Structure 1
């Protein structure tokens, strides 16, 4: 039966049930036995029936309590195993009734909808059953049945509107499950829905995005991701809104972000919202799960490199805790993937130099290398309109390498870690107005120490400290417009320390930049979703606080993002942006940090290194019909304020620090055929990327990352619980600079130097790598899901050259140094989730 009255129309005087029972005991000379906690909060209407039997039946109908007669004098009162439900569903702002809300008793086949007054009734429901109340545009509520047991008036349930950014509308899905292109042109990866990619058995987020056109790593690492010809330090990487200065484990071989708690990853190459500063090449936004869980979920996994554990723990209806942790076992177990990664990461480093070219007969070597990461998040829904989130992450890499021969004991120590804390408060003040407050602290440390028995000792450190505050407000104007406004404060301090013995030398350079930013942006989405337009302005004021060249700067960054769907299957996009950043990475010496982590973070000081600024525009066309997607995009980007020290030069201009620019134009193309059982794609990118430096001769020459042609062909196939992936990646060789053939060494200076040809006038051989992977999913019991996977990187075992440079050895001869890619690299994984 559906209750059709209104709760507000019923006005009956109530009395405490225990007090009323005392009156019945006196009047009818009886005794009731019950648990106080079961009755103390209940109130009832006084029955009009004069018989005891009628009175008890009335009390049962009001409370769902069971009244059992033991004898003429004694009665027991117990809670019933089932309850009758009565409730009215309203929105929590205007208190309007929600007609047609779906009511579901979880674990049963009971489904119904609210009537014209927002009411619903259900009889004989298990008292501890969970009830789900759903309505389009509102957040789902979960309530225990006993909280809705038959009341008079019926219980009021207030539903909170579900807010969704206008740019969350998905336009295209491609490559594999869990990857989609959003209406604003950004690429979104949902890790919990992620399928399979060639060479991966687990969704490494920074490896996965390299399957997208225009994104690659020329040295096969996640710590050197190049987006449209930019260096890795030109990518803004955010984890739960916190800027990250370290992104890789094993010194760049795998991502430092555990995919198990990662919910979404967004990649923005152009048309960035004005709320984001920094990152002149891209924004990579990583978000962990943001919903309070009502049930425990967790899992664990192991592969040939590390083991991991994660979980979601509900602490109450409003509070839950997430945690994850990974730890390698590379310090006590060698595996094939560890050997391949070790060779790749430490080639041409102090570790490898110490490990070669010596008489091994009396040398005892020991290397101790491991990595780990831990992260956690506390989620607290203060009320229906406010959410508090607290996050932390700690990333660590540790290497200790030693050699002992006789009385000599040489040691190399390298430590790299990132520790970050952040908090956010999301508030919905009205159905149309909401705010978002975000604060964080992040610290990055890189330390290297060389301890030699009979020679020079060296200590190097690079530390970054950043504090930030950001406040956004969103105001929805009608059904098509959203107005974003905000303020952001960032303070970044960077210290670079170098200390040497024999001779004594110490350099300690510190700097602090403080940036104030105001931004405003309007977003329009037509009701039929054919039009999308977003435009805004970001105002930056930068103050340098602690360098000899104190400066302040003020500049404006306009952004635009426009899309129009001519028909349902064809859409054109135009995007443009001005961006800037004040943090960069330089290579002071080729052997920085043992030659493994060569890059140091430094601050722009508007003297030795200016503020880096970019301008970019792109025009794209997308087509999707049935299972076929075709996308093409042309772009032009110019980045000014770069230094030869930030670009990784390995020629005569390596240490000069000249200031210049690079400009790149290109085309990105993707065609993807996708069905429920298979997906096949071909992507192609063409780039022409050139430097321009006024103080170098020639002024213009190819960029170190000038990869003209990039081709990927790949496919995935699903057969029942098996998932297969196979693919090949090709790109043309990157530029490098050779010594002059006629006069390779300048012997007129001391020390002697190499005479180089024109910058980047030669190219290394083309790159080709094929990868494969297979995953099998199965169940282990009723509630445990499991998967096992096998992957092989570089199945053809191609010896690709990643980089070539030259140096003089002790015999004053030119050595050719070639960094080589991974060889054939197998991996096996096993995972469970529950």
Structure 2
């Protein structure tokens, strides 16, 4: 009778405390409990439960409350303040599990990372706590533990992507995780989300960008990145808004920027926003994390070249610190990877005479080499609307290289020191809900000291190149309404460059200094239709350029970036820009066996080297449906005001300083198919890149970077905690200039004799082919400590690709042919821990 009454009273929810009072009356018992433990809890007992034991068991399971029977009349109820909880994190936009999301118990030093199925479990945590679930690219979510306990099993938790308001085909996630094509046609790399690419076991920033169509390095380095046929000095590389004049370690084989502190990388090939000046080929913008960490986190690791550490420390809720440091082990540890890199930088070349006989001189080589980089950032929030950020970076390369020709008993020594020190401060302010500003001030100094001692110290050459830059940049953003916004800004940049050359035999000394100041106001209107059928950015940059010694020039640079929907799953983009730059690099390859790192920065003077200007336009179509993407883009680019001394010529025009231009016409294609655990893509780029020099015969000939066809095929696969990737790279050979055949190839009327060359770039190197593979395994060491181990192999087939070929006259008045070759088969392993 009592059971029936209890069931009838519980057909609707009621407070747990009230229900317990009912049970006391119905079953003639007494409960002892603390009101605060049960206050606010409600329940509905299923009608099929009639006995007291069933009801108490239901309450225990539902609320994690322990019921203890003292005797036939008295019971105690106590809450277990620590509980176990589990869940599965899903992307409610793509309906996929989110692997690697951080699940943190607020107020406690407890956190977990979701596994490959998006699942997590937390043991012995406070039942009144809240969970913070976060992952880059998604809105951070907060969930009460109590709410999860009231659901059956391990409930699903949905994370909202930042792009959930956009059409399905508006933002493209392709190649591997962490690479996104944005609505303005820029490419974003989120290093924390980064998956895997062929040959890479760490997200090296400047190696990763070369996976994108239209971006390659003709000599396999990160210090010579060629974007749509441009030279490396035509790329604007920014780190936290600071222009970088040094980008590589180990003669360009390794990026100088620690990827584990870098939060986001943005690449523009065209349609650049008006706030970016300089860099007529591209913009590569790197940004470290911009929010104060909620808890201490960091990590470290090593590979066969270097080791590094990084950390984020929250000092308080308003003050945080980030830092990273990396140093090579090359000066005390010789590894297979190091040996291959050394061969690539110095020894992997072949010298033959004009009669094809190989020069078989025996050389003894010894090198002492190391590099390091350090970066840090201080984050201080004055309040929610005003935030100060201070960043600093120091990059260093140091080399001593000694080469002895045994047969000639002659020793050459080269010393090289390369430093980049940059400091910058930013003030980010939200003045109203509609108006914000960003002030950026920085100082940057790059210094290169190079000393060559030839022929047993008979001749000594010293070269110094120093770049000093100060800048003030102010950007404002005003939101007119949901569709229109307006950017305005002003930039002042002062760049000073000094070049010193001293030779003792014959006695020669040259010191050249120059300063260029640029005043650049700009404006840009941004529009986005309510349903994203059309978005556009139209702006202009107004450059007043002053070289204190020679010229003053005004340049107008319009920019346009349009994206619109053609049909379901199909969008088109129209991009265009005018750009200019006043800094270039002189390339003296013939006298410089140390390669790219001894390129010297110089300033435009509007005489021997004018301001370099570019015009570029492109049209693209993108299709994306069911994780299948096709993108095609055609472009035309003209760059005027280039010099033969900055283009890497290795023929009579290397030192002539002729002024001209180049034109590039090209098409880029990317096809990408993704699944839950795989991604496969095929990219193709066609470029026709031609020089025009009025004072050279013929006036038009192929560019030194004229790579007509480039093809990449690659695939990644994830199985639980194992990531695998393999890729094939193919491209046609680069042009080079051959001497006239026979005895006429050497002109004996000069002393020393000179080489008579055929038409510029009349021949091409053999085709280039390389296969790479990589694997990464992730595992958990402890609750807080995660780790991964990686293995990569570059050039699996050990193919001997010719990267460069040029000619010189030796001391016996014979023409020598020098061929430089690519990396051979190069393994690398890594181990990292993160917490």
TM-score by length of 1: 0.79
Name 1:702's counterpart in structure 2. Answer: 702
Name 1:34's counterpart in structure 2. Answer: none
**Contact persistence 2:252–2:596 (CA under 8 A):** no
**Contact persistence 1:167–1:183 (CA under 8 A):** no
Distance 1:594 1:219 in 2: 14
**Contact persistence 2:768–2:801 (CA under 8 A):** yes
**Contact persistence 2:589–2:650 (CA under 8 A):** no
* Partner of residue 426 from structure 1, selected from 420, 425, 428: 428
Distance 2:624 2:165 in 1: 23
Name 2:443's counterpart in structure 1. Answer: 441
**Contact persistence 1:467–1:491 (CA under 8 A):** yes
Distance 2:612 2:439 in 1: 27
Name 1:171's counterpart in structure 2. Answer: 171
Question: What's the CA shift for 1:251?
Answer: 1.0
Question: What's the CA shift for 1:236?
Answer: 0.2
Asked if 1:214 corresponds to 2:214, the answer is yes
Name 1:488's counterpart in structure 2. Answer: 491
1:419-568 matches, within 5 Å, as 419-451=421-453, 453-545=456-548, 547=549, 550-568=550-568
**Contact persistence 2:105–2:131 (CA under 8 A):** yes
Unaligned runs of 5+ residues in structure 1 are 2-80, 83-103, 109-124, 145-161, 351-355
Q: Deviations over 1:682-724 (max 9, x none)?
A: 0111111000011110010000000000000000001111100
The structure-2 alpha-carbon separation of the partners of 1:799 and 1:421, relative to structure 1 and needing over 3 Å to count, comes to: same
Distance 2:143 2:569 in 1: 42
Name 2:819's counterpart in structure 1. Answer: 818
The structure-2 alpha-carbon separation of the partners of 1:176 and 1:203, relative to structure 1 and needing over 3 Å to count, comes to: same
Name 1:690's counterpart in structure 2. Answer: 690
Name 2:233's counterpart in structure 1. Answer: 233
Distance 1:224 1:422 in 2: 25
The structure-2 alpha-carbon separation of the partners of 1:207 and 1:168, relative to structure 1 and needing over 3 Å to count, comes to: farther
Question: What's the CA shift for 1:510?
Answer: 0.4
**Contact persistence 2:133–2:141 (CA under 8 A):** yes
1:326-337 matches, within 5 Å, as 326-337=326-337
1:386-401 matches, within 5 Å, as 386-401=386-401
The structure-2 alpha-carbon separation of the partners of 1:306 and 1:170, relative to structure 1 and needing over 3 Å to count, comes to: farther
Question: What's the CA shift for 1:567?
Answer: 3.1
Count of matched residue positions in the alignment of Structure 1 and Structure 2: 690
Asked if 1:310 corresponds to 2:313, the answer is no
Asked if 1:775 corresponds to 2:779, the answer is no
1:556-635 matches, within 5 Å, as 556-588=556-588, 590-592=590-592, 594-595=594-595, 597-635=597-635
Distance 1:655 1:821 in 2: 26
Distance 2:737 2:284 in 1: 32
SS of match in other structure, 2:725: strand
Distance 1:698 1:165 in 2: 55
Question: What's the CA shift for 1:163?
Answer: 14
Question: What's the CA shift for 1:169?
Answer: 11
Name 1:12's counterpart in structure 2. Answer: none
Larger deviation: 399-408 or 228-237? Answer: 399-408
Name 1:799's counterpart in structure 2. Answer: 800
Question: What's the CA shift for 1:367?
Answer: 2.0
Unaligned runs of 5+ residues in structure 2 are 1-12, 14-80, 83-103, 109-124, 145-161, 351-358
TM-score by length of 2: 0.79
Distance 2:604 2:589 in 1: 19
Q: Deviations over 1:343-396 (max 9, x none)?
A: 11124899xxxxx97667xx7x64210111000000111101011100001111
The structure-2 alpha-carbon separation of the partners of 1:316 and 1:165, relative to structure 1 and needing over 3 Å to count, comes to: farther
Question: What's the CA shift for 1:484?
Answer: 0.2
Question: What's the CA shift for 1:411?
Answer: 3.6
Name 1:21's counterpart in structure 2. Answer: none
Question: What's the CA shift for 1:592?
Answer: 4.0
The structure-2 alpha-carbon separation of the partners of 1:574 and 1:231, relative to structure 1 and needing over 3 Å to count, comes to: same
Larger deviation: 564-573 or 662-671? Answer: 564-573
Name 2:59's counterpart in structure 1. Answer: none
Distance 2:592 2:631 in 1: 42
Q: Deviations over 1:106-136 (max 9, x none)?
A: 479xxxxxxxxxxxxxxxx9899679799xx
Larger relative CO (CA 8 A, sep 6+): 1 or 2? 2
Name 1:120's counterpart in structure 2. Answer: none
The structure-2 alpha-carbon separation of the partners of 1:138 and 1:642, relative to structure 1 and needing over 3 Å to count, comes to: closer
SS of match in other structure, 1:251: helix
The structure-2 alpha-carbon separation of the partners of 1:165 and 1:616, relative to structure 1 and needing over 3 Å to count, comes to: farther
Distance 1:260 1:131 in 2: 25
Question: What's the CA shift for 1:475?
Answer: 0.1
**Contact persistence 2:170–2:571 (CA under 8 A):** no
The structure-2 alpha-carbon separation of the partners of 1:751 and 1:176, relative to structure 1 and needing over 3 Å to count, comes to: same
Question: What's the CA shift for 1:165?
Answer: 14
Q: Deviations over 1:543-592 (max 9, x none)?
A: 101x4xx1100010000000101234100000000000000011246224
Distance 1:182 1:758 in 2: 44
SS of match in other structure, 1:783: coil
Q: Deviations over 1:52-97 (max 9, x none)?
A: xxxxxxxxxxxxxxxxxxxxxxxxxxxxx99xxxxxxxxxxxxxxx
Question: What's the CA shift for 1:599?
Answer: 1.5
1:341-360 matches, within 5 Å, as 341-347=341-347
1:71-86 matches, within 5 Å, as none
The structure-2 alpha-carbon separation of the partners of 1:454 and 1:173, relative to structure 1 and needing over 3 Å to count, comes to: closer
Distance 2:371 2:794 in 1: 21
**Contact persistence 1:560–1:577 (CA under 8 A):** yes
Distance 2:425 2:435 in 1: 21
SS of match in other structure, 1:338: helix
The structure-2 alpha-carbon separation of the partners of 1:451 and 1:431, relative to structure 1 and needing over 3 Å to count, comes to: same
Q: Deviations over 1:497-535 (max 9, x none)?
A: 011112321101000000000000000011111211110
Question: What's the CA shift for 1:268?
Answer: 0.3
Distance 1:463 1:167 in 2: 49
Name 1:376's counterpart in structure 2. Answer: 376
Distance 1:804 1:557 in 2: 38
SS of match in other structure, 1:799: coil
Distance 1:165 1:607 in 2: 52
Distance 1:504 1:768 in 2: 46
Distance 1:593 1:418 in 2: 22
**Contact persistence 2:348–2:821 (CA under 8 A):** no
**Contact persistence 2:223–2:596 (CA under 8 A):** no
**Contact persistence 1:673–1:680 (CA under 8 A):** yes
Distance 1:418 1:127 in 2: 52
SS of match in other structure, 1:815: strand
Question: What's the CA shift for 1:749?
Answer: 2.0
Name 1:256's counterpart in structure 2. Answer: 256
Name 1:323's counterpart in structure 2. Answer: 323
1:140-219 matches, within 5 Å, as 171-219=171-219
SS of match in other structure, 1:645: helix
Distance 2:676 2:141 in 1: 32
